[in-house]
């Protein structure tokens, strides 16, 4: 027993401390959501009184269309996730299997673009989409369609490289056998690549959905109207004012918005691990 305490006790103590350290911010948010003061001040670790007024405020206040914000986030995130999978899978298959002029330069260019932070392009994106709005108002600045186009452009490089690594692990003999049977590249893509790449495609779709759902900077730049905002931009109004900081509804809205994401992530955690490691080893 003494030997176990000397060798393993500190490991368990350190693990427990790190777990408590990681869960403390989450506990603070939950505690703020059931308080009536509307602040993050921690007077005690156990609340003396639990109130759900912050949650009721989100659903009954006419100035805060919370459900509409969540709906907008779901629509935008789902559209970006599905479209990015379709575009990424097609591009990865082309770069991995097909032969065309500029193939090497194109895949290297995608990697080069990913080396620069996306924040550097904010001003350029704003000017471009503002000019797009002049002749195409439905996909320009201030529209959800324009925001979706920007998201798709940003997610293309990472998804293509991730999916290409998986496609490279698929034996080329399958393609050759399909070609002998008279299959075209499109048929090979639909009948061989897609069934084999289903796990990694699900992972790319899920990670893109989560990243888009939680994104704030571009959504705050594009979406101005109250009814067109995402949940991240909408909740920012509770803590963005100089004299109107109210952390209670902000914490309540954050918790409710994170519940579906947590459920999806935990239920598909096995596929996430398998999909992320699928293209890491070739052979």
Same domain membership, residue 171 and residue 111 = yes
- Model pLDDT for residues 186-232, shown as the tens digit of each residue: 888 888 888 888 778 888 888 889 889 988 888 888 888 888 889 98
Of 25 and 47, which is predicted with more confidence?
25
Whether residue 135 lies inside any domain: the answer is yes
Domain that holds residue 230: 65-278
Mean pLDDT score, 144-158: 83
Q: What's residue 281's pLDDT? A: 47
pLDDT at 163: 82
Whether residues 72 and 34 share a domain: the answer is: no
Residues 75 and 167 in one domain: yes
Structure token digits, residue 133: 């709005």
Pair 179, 233 in one domain: yes
Residue 9 shares a structural domain with residue 85: no
Does residue 213 lie within any of the structural domains?
yes
> Rounded mean pLDDT of the chain?
81
Residue 283 forms part of a structural domain: no
Domain endpoint, select from 13, 41, 57: 57
For 160-193, the pLDDT digits (tens) are 887 888 888 888 788 788 888 888 878 888 888 8
pLDDT of residue 80: 92
10 and 138: one domain? no
Above 50 in pLDDT, residue 283? no
pLDDT at 99: 81
Question: How many domains does the chain divide into?
Answer: 2
pLDDT at 244: 59
The b/e string for 236-269 (b: 16+ C-beta within 10 A; e otherwise) is bbbeeeeeeebbbbbbbbbbbbbeeeeeeeeebe
Q: State whether 138 and 85 are in the same domain.
A: yes
pLDDT per residue as tens digits for the range 68-115: 999 999 999 999 999 988 888 888 888 888 788 888 888 888 777 777
Of 57, 80, 101, which residue constitutes the final position of a domain? 57
Residue 241, pLDDT score: 61
If asked whether residues 117 and 242 sit together in one domain, one would say yes
Whether residue 43 is found in the same domain as residue 121: no
The verdict on 157 and 180 lying in the same domain is yes
Question: Does 151 share its domain with 23?
Answer: no
pLDDT at 29 over 50: yes
One domain, residues 91 and 122? yes
Say which CATH number the domain at 84 has: 1.10.3720.10
What is the structure's pLDDT at 169? 81
Domain-located, residue 220: yes
With vertex at residue 255, the alpha carbon angle to CA 252 and CA 258, rounded to the nearest 5 degrees, is 150
Cα–chain center distance at 152: 12
Query: d(Cα 238, Cα 249) in Å, to the nearest integer?
Result: 7
Single out the residue of 37, 58, 52 nearest to residue 250, CA to CA.
58
pLDDT band at 251 (very low <50, low <70, confident <90, very high): confident
Is residue 262 a part of any domain in this protein? Answer: yes
Q: Using alpha carbons only, give the angle 9, 10, 16 rounded to the nearest 5 degrees.
A: 95
| Predicted structure pTM score | 0.83
Give residue 279's pLDDT. 47
Please determine, for residue 47, whether its predicted confidence score (pLDDT) is greater than 80: no
């Amino acid at each position: 027993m003494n030997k176990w305490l000397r060798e393993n006790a500190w490991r368990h103590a350190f693990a427990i401390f790190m777990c408590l350290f990681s869960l403390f911010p989450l506990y603070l948010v939950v505690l703020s959501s059931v308080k009536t003061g509307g602040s993050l001040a921690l007077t005690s670790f156990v609340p003396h009184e639990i109130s759900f007024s912050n949650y009721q405020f989100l659903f009954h206040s006419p100035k805060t269309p919370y459900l509409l914000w969540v709906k907008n986030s779901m629509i935008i995130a789902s559209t970006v996730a599905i479209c990015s999978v379709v575009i990424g899978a097609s591009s990865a298959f082309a770069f991995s299997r097909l032969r065309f002029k500029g193939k090497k330069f194109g895949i290297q260019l995608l990697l080069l673009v990913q080396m620069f932070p996306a924040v550097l392009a904010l001003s350029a994106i704003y000017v471009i989409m503002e000019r797009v709005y002049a002749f195409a108002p439905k996909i320009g600045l201030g529209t959800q369609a324009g925001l979706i186009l920007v998201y798709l452009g940003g997610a293309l490089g990472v998804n293509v490289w991730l999916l290409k690594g998986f496609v490279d692990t698929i034996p080329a003999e399958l393609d050759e056998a399909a070609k002998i049977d008279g299959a075209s590249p499109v048929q090979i893509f639909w009948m061989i690549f897609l069934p084999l790449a289903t796990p990694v495609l699900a992972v790319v779709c899920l990670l893109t959905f989560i990243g888009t759902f939680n994104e704030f900077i571009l959504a705050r730049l594009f979406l101005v109207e109250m009814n067109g905002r995402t949940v991240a931009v909408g909740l920012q109004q509770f803590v963005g004012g100089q004299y109107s900081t109210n952390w209670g509804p902000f914490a309540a809205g954050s918790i409710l918005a994170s519940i579906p994401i947590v459920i999806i992530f935990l239920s598909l955690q096995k596929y996430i691990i398998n999909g992320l490691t699928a293209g890491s080893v070739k052979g």
